A and B are shown apart, each in its own frame.
Chain A
Amino acid sequence: MSSPSVTPAAVGGGAPSTPSAAGGPVASDAPARPNEPTLRWRSRAHSIEEVEQELVRIWAHNVEQLMGDRDGDHVNDRMIGARTNVMNLVVIAGRPEVGERCAATIQRLVGRHPSRTTIVQPADPDGPSWLDAQIVAHCVLPRVDAPETCAETIHLVCGGEAGRHLDAIVAPLLIHDLPVTVWWPDEPHFGSDPVNDLLAMSDRLVVDGSGWHGTGLDQLRKMAAAAERFPIAISDFAMVRQSRWREAIAAIFDIPDFLPYLRHIRRIAVTYGVRDEFGAETTNIVKPLYHAAWLGSRLAMTVTKPLAPMTGGPSRKAPVRSSSGRVTSLANPSAGLGATLRLDRTDVALVIRPVLSEMPAGTTLRVELLADWRGSELRADVTAEQEAVHVRVWQDGVHALERGFTAPRRTDIDLLAEAIEAGGRDPVAVGTLALAAQLAGGTPP
């Protein structure tokens, strides 16, 4: 029987601490410091009932401790500990290292998102059913003179049949009446019973579509189908991560002179990076597709022709290589996917094309827009780097705008924080996902 490998670095951090031998409160050797999570509890359980008992013990201990800290009638106002729960977070981790990575990310949020986190890691699907749980509680001192805010994390490893009934494991561990967010850092098998059962009891699904296998388009279509079937909100890091691009693109059309061109866009081209000449067929293109889908959905475009390999480019030729043998340009520079959208009564060409880049494969490198309005042409070129997004605009060939937006690339912690803070379905995300799925060939039945 394997147990979850939760390292002290992943769950502890903060002040050095010593777990009690039998499981329970953890004595801290150093005073808690503001905004640094401190491990206050660690114990183990082997059934859901035992996990529930441990959770009760955590809070009983917490209250006892606080009662011990009473200081006259001041306690009435400020020191009684009350959990400010905002949500249940359920993480489905396919592999131990994913669970560890998620635990580390969540721990960075714990002070600001007091919540119950349940990390579920299915294991050994063909063996007998078993369950091993590690329960830890971290507390954070928001300020020196404020009470600690605590949250618990349950790391569950479920063997055998138990691992196929995720909803049955998760349901009894949810804090009632609080929203349920499921973070699926790997690739959910949309349409399967375990996923459907879990989505049926969830309010929000958090995924990262840019990490899915292949182009990611099949999964994206299935996710759009799930979004139609279940009343859940979906936060895709691949989409949320692009908000800095969206702000910059929208800012172009805040300028009164450029706004009329917006409804006369004729071409959208999104360029993304691939690492080698074969990357075009296997690179995940969820991120570049979202750019086009966001623009299309905001402008109420419809899909006339979904994405298909481009055929109009120059004939295939040998890739260009540097003296060291490294490929420096793609074999076929026009390789990519093309689609046609409809805006009012006019077609809009969409091109999603790869170029060789040192950036991670699938990273959007450039978004180009071409619009013509009353015989005048507007061309916009948007690029991004680590800390900024750059916009350049030409009106009738004349350079009309150059602007840089300070907007650092966001980390997983930022993205998770935003995803779990969001309330309800974001109509922009819903529209973007729906159009992206249509561009990818429509949602499966």
Chain B
Amino acid sequence: MTDTAVPKRRKTSAKPDAPAVAPETAPDKTPHPAPKSKDAPRTIKDLRIARQGKRKPTPKQDDNPLREGLRLERVADPSVLVLFGATGDLAHRKVIPALYQLWRTNLLPHDFVVLAIGRRDYDDAVLRDELKTSLEKYSRVLPLDDAAWRSFASRIRYHKLDFANPDDFDKLVTVMDGIDKEQSSSGNHLYYLATQPSAFADIVAQLGRVGLDHERHEGGWRRIVIEKPFGHDLTSAIRLNREVGKVFRESQVYRIDHYLGKETVRNLLVFRFGNGIFEPIWNRRHIDHIQITVAESIGVENRGSFYEETGASRDFLQNHLLQLMSLVAMEPPATFDADALRDEKVKVIRAIGELTPDQLRSDVVRGQYGPGWVAAKPVKGYRQEPEVNPESETETYIAARFEVDDWRWSGVPFYLRTGKRLPKRATEIAIQFKEVPHRLFRDSNSDPDPNLLAIRIQPDEGIMLRFGAKVPGLGIDVRSVTMDFTYGSAFTVDSPDAYETLILDALLGDASLFTRADEVEGAWARVTPIIESWMDEPSPEFPSYEAGTWGPEAADGLLAREGRKWRRI
């Protein structure tokens, strides 16, 4: 209970359909606050009597007033998490460690079951042993808490199922009914698709066929979590959305982009909309350009065949980079509800100007790494990696210049870049402000740099502001200095892993940090023309950058031609 940081979740934000309850007075001014109530008096007379203290609002039975002020103001309903692909890499590395951590820190409901689905001939004990081995490797808190693991493991059951066999889904219905009755899970099911993307449509269709998507009148919600990649181009994304939409309503669908669960990404919203000083200058009048970098020092590791089909554009640009861009550029939402937030994000994506054929050639740079040195170790080139075609044309680096054609951002370039085998792992959003309109200190020995605001997402999460300061002395010498905020130096609590945040949100029914169908399609609509344009071009001269460098030289040219340069991270 003490060692996990989970942001307090307010009922109003966690339950999109619940009426917002405004506090009568600011908490600071309430000496004896009454419990919150959704059953507040509504007529003028009721309000007057309540204000005079003659009648106390009575909390409705479905809220637990003891939750106020605790880490979670609402706990997830009793439920079953049905994990498809439970024997796979994602389940072992991310999903199960996140669930274990949530369980260990008492953030899951008491009546909670993980139904692990896979094609292998396992039983409960074999799967649990395998999961424990993985946890000992991937859990963010080690050593494992044996009591917590035993208790959590007793809630994991294995069920063998072949996604291609409809009969297996009929049997799944029986299994689910049994668990619902046995475990008092009230028919609440969260289906988590941690499988190969090619299986998504079949699983969804089968869940629909056997009726496991139906939400019940007396409760019993059904939600589905779908991992990226969501489609491999615009057409496939539309098709997949259509297939999912035939079975589940959009409000039941939770598309994961784990970047949105990261603490600093969530803090970006607080930073922009919880502070009064930044929003007035967050526009074309004051901002020169914006750089968003997602750099990885690792190569493709053992995912060569996967990466051959995706590349940097599908793996990062279509989702993480465009999501970060939409969060930076979005207008303030009216509320913090999932749809209000996502409405604003999708407006940004739609406002990204479509690149003309000329721009597709001039504003997008792709690259592929060759052999080099990273962190003082020699590394192979991409084409020498296992499961990679020795003549591969897959891009491991992409940089692009976009513009958002709206009133706020018109004329402000957004430079996005991502790549593998870059010198270091770093994700950062840099807001480069314009130069001062009048150079008052032109006699200064050194020209001060324009102001810069850098939001570091990983590692070393924090925010840095650069500004000019006078160097002490008789003259007027101006030098750039920085104010640096790091999460680690201001807060004692550890940030939860993004998967912990997102899985808990899905169980609580809060879709704010998940992507909606129109966002996904909008992002593909921007990225697909880029990929298609490469089909018409001759074979690229790959490799185009040495591992351990910051990408191909052409990427520097993307900014240099406008008198700018990439930030050194």
Enumerate chain A interface residues (CB-CB to B < 8 A).
73-74, 76-78, 80, 82, 84, 86, 109, 111-114, 142-143, 146-147, 149, 227-228, 231, 243-244, 246-251, 253-257, 259-260, 262-263, 295, 297-300, 344, 388, 401, 403-408, 410, 414, 417-418, 421, 424-431, 434-435
In whole angstroms, what is the CA distance A426 to B151 when docked? 33
Q: Which of A298, A410, A421 lies at the interface centre, i.e. has the most chain B CB atoms within 10 A of its CB? A: A298
User: Does B106 lie within 8 Å of A255, measured CB to CB?
Assistant: no
Contacts of A410 in B (CB 8 A): 2
Given contacts A247-B106, A251-B106, A254-B110, contact A427 B460 (CB under 8 A): no
Q: What sequence of 0s and 1s flags, for each residue 443-469 of chain B, a beta carbon within 8 Å of any chain A beta carbon?
A: 000000100001000001000101000
Q: Which of A251, A297, A404 contacts B75 (CB 8 A)?
A: A251
Judge whether B28 is part of the interface by a CB distance below 8 angstroms.
yes
Given contacts A82-B482, A425-B27, A431-B33, contact A142 B568 (CB under 8 A): no
Judge whether B142 is part of the interface by a CB distance below 8 angstroms.
no
From residue 139 to 156 of chain B, which have CB atoms closer than 8 A to chain A? 145, 147-148, 151
Judge whether B491 is part of the interface by a CB distance below 8 angstroms.
yes
Contacts of B481 in A (CB 8 A): 80, 82
Judge whether B334 is part of the interface by a CB distance below 8 angstroms.
no
Q: Which of B59, B148, B492 contacts A112 (CB 8 A)?
A: B492
Contacts of B70 in A (CB 8 A): 243, 246-247, 250
Judge whether B64 is part of the interface by a CB distance below 8 angstroms.
yes
Given contacts A228-B31, A406-B1, contact A82 B483 (CB under 8 A): yes
Contacts of B484 in A (CB 8 A): 78, 80, 82, 84, 147
Known pairs A251-B106, A426-B69, A431-B32 / 5 extra A-B pairs, C-beta < 8 Å: A78-B484, A254-B67, A263-B59, A299-B66, A300-B34
User: Does A404 lie within 8 Å of B489, measured CB to CB?
Assistant: no
User: Does A414 lie within 8 Å of B106, measured CB to CB?
Assistant: no
Looking at the assembled complex, report how far the CB atom of B228 sits from the nearest CB atom of chain A, in whole angstroms: 30
Minimal Cβ-Cβ distance residue in B for A429: B69
Given contacts A76-B480, A146-B460, contact A407 B490 (CB under 8 A): no
Judge whether B65 is part of the interface by a CB distance below 8 angstroms.
yes
Judge whether B104 is part of the interface by a CB distance below 8 angstroms.
yes
9 closest Cβ pairs, A-B complex: A428-B69, A250-B66, A407-B1, A427-B33, A417-B492, A254-B75, A427-B27, A253-B64, A149-B489
User: Does A253 lie within 8 Å of B66, measured CB to CB?
Assistant: yes
In whole angstroms, what is the CA distance A196 to B62 when docked? 43
Judge whether B347 is part of the interface by a CB distance below 8 angstroms.
no
Looking at the assembled complex, report how far the CB atom of A371 sits from the nearest CB atom of chain B, in whole angstroms: 13
In whole angstroms, what is the CA distance A298 to B567 when docked? 52
Contacts of A256 in B (CB 8 A): 77-78, 186
Judge whether B58 is part of the interface by a CB distance below 8 angstroms.
yes
Size of interface on B: residues with Cβ below 8 Å to A: 59
Judge whether B137 is part of the interface by a CB distance below 8 angstroms.
no
Contacts of A424 in B (CB 8 A): 27-28
Q: Which of A112, A259, A427 contacts B69 (CB 8 A)?
A: A427
Q: Which of B35, B65, B68, B186 lies at the interface centre, i.e. has the most chain A CB atoms within 10 A of its CB? A: B65
In whole angstroms, what is the CA distance A146 to B486 when docked? 10
> How many residue pairs between the two chains, A and B, have CB atoms under 8 Å in the bound complex?
159
Looking at the assembled complex, report how far the CB atom of B452 sits from the nearest CB atom of chain A, in whole angstroms: 8
Sample (24) of A-B pairs whose CB atoms are under 8 Å apart? A77-B567, A80-B482, A82-B482, A84-B486, A109-B492, A112-B489, A243-B1, A244-B1, A244-B2, A254-B110, A259-B64, A298-B68, A300-B56, A403-B110, A404-B151, A407-B1, A421-B493, A424-B27, A424-B28, A425-B27, A427-B68, A427-B69, A429-B69, A434-B32
In whole angstroms, what is the CA distance A418 to B34 when docked? 24
From residue 32 to 84 of chain B, which have CB atoms closer than 8 A to chain A? 32-35, 56, 58-59, 61-62, 64-71, 75, 77-78
Q: Which of A82, A254, A263, A428 contacts B61 (CB 8 A)?
A: A263
Judge whether B245 is part of the interface by a CB distance below 8 angstroms.
no
Looking at the assembled complex, report how far the CB atom of A93 sits from the nearest CB atom of chain B, in whole angstroms: 23
Looking at the assembled complex, report how far the CB atom of B161 sits from the nearest CB atom of chain A, in whole angstroms: 30
In whole angstroms, what is the CA distance A113 to B492 when docked? 8
Contacts of A262 in B (CB 8 A): 64-66
From residue 474 to 496 of chain B, which have CB atoms closer than 8 A to chain A? 480-486, 488-493
User: Does B489 lie within 8 Å of A114, measured CB to CB?
Assistant: yes
In whole angstroms, what is the CA distance A251 to B66 when docked? 9
Minimal Cβ-Cβ distance residue in A for B1: A407
In whole angstroms, what is the CA distance A322 to B102 when docked? 46
Judge whether B109 is part of the interface by a CB distance below 8 angstroms.
yes
Looking at the assembled complex, report how far the CB atom of B138 sits from the nearest CB atom of chain A, in whole angstroms: 19
Judge whether B30 is part of the interface by a CB distance below 8 angstroms.
yes
In whole angstroms, what is the CA distance A228 to B29 when docked? 10
In whole angstroms, what is the CA distance A340 to B59 when docked? 22
User: Does B492 lie within 8 Å of A406, measured CB to CB?
Assistant: no
In whole angstroms, what is the CA distance A124 to B294 when docked? 61
Minimal Cβ-Cβ distance residue in B for A232: B28
User: Does B28 lie within 8 Å of A247, measured CB to CB?
Assistant: no
Given contacts A251-B106, A434-B32, contact A76 B27 (CB under 8 A): no
Contacts of B67 in A (CB 8 A): 250, 254
Contacts of B518 in A (CB 8 A): none
In whole angstroms, what is the CA distance A255 to B30 when docked? 30
In whole angstroms, what is the CA distance A263 to B95 when docked? 37
User: Does A111 lie within 8 Å of B489, measured CB to CB?
Assistant: yes
Judge whether B170 is part of the interface by a CB distance below 8 angstroms.
no
Looking at the assembled complex, report how far the CB atom of B433 sits from the nearest CB atom of chain A, in whole angstroms: 15
Contacts of B315 in A (CB 8 A): none
In whole angstroms, what is the CA distance A257 to B109 when docked? 13
Contacts of A418 in B (CB 8 A): 492
Q: Which of B31, B68, B449, B454 contacts A428 (CB 8 A)?
A: B68
User: Does A407 lie within 8 Å of B106, measured CB to CB?
Assistant: yes
User: Does A407 lie within 8 Å of B66, measured CB to CB?
Assistant: no
Minimal Cβ-Cβ distance residue in B for A428: B69
Contacts of B62 in A (CB 8 A): 259
In whole angstroms, what is the CA distance A425 to B484 when docked? 28
Minimal Cβ-Cβ distance residue in B for A248: B106
User: Does A299 lie within 8 Å of B147, measured CB to CB?
Assistant: no
Contacts of B343 in A (CB 8 A): none
User: Does A405 lie within 8 Å of B106, measured CB to CB?
Assistant: yes
Judge whether B111 is part of the interface by a CB distance below 8 angstroms.
yes
Looking at the assembled complex, report how far the CB atom of A249 sits from the nearest CB atom of chain B, in whole angstroms: 6
Q: Which of A112, A231, A299, A407 contacts B491 (CB 8 A)?
A: A112
Given contacts A407-B2, A430-B32, contact A250 B56 (CB under 8 A): no
In whole angstroms, what is the CA distance A188 to B383 when docked? 71
In whole angstroms, what is the CA distance A16 to B31 when docked? 49
Looking at the assembled complex, report how far the CB atom of A5 sits from the nearest CB atom of chain B, in whole angstroms: 28
User: Does A414 lie within 8 Å of B2, measured CB to CB?
Assistant: yes
Contacts of B464 in A (CB 8 A): 77-78
Q: Which of A86, A227, A250, A295 contacts B64 (CB 8 A)?
A: A250
Looking at the assembled complex, report how far the CB atom of A430 sits from the nearest CB atom of chain B, in whole angstroms: 6
Contacts of A142 in B (CB 8 A): 460, 486, 488-489
In whole angstroms, what is the CA distance A113 to B487 when docked? 11
In whole angstroms, what is the CA distance A431 to B105 when docked? 26
Contacts of A344 in B (CB 8 A): 58
Given contacts A86-B490, A112-B489, A113-B492, contact A430 B109 (CB under 8 A): no
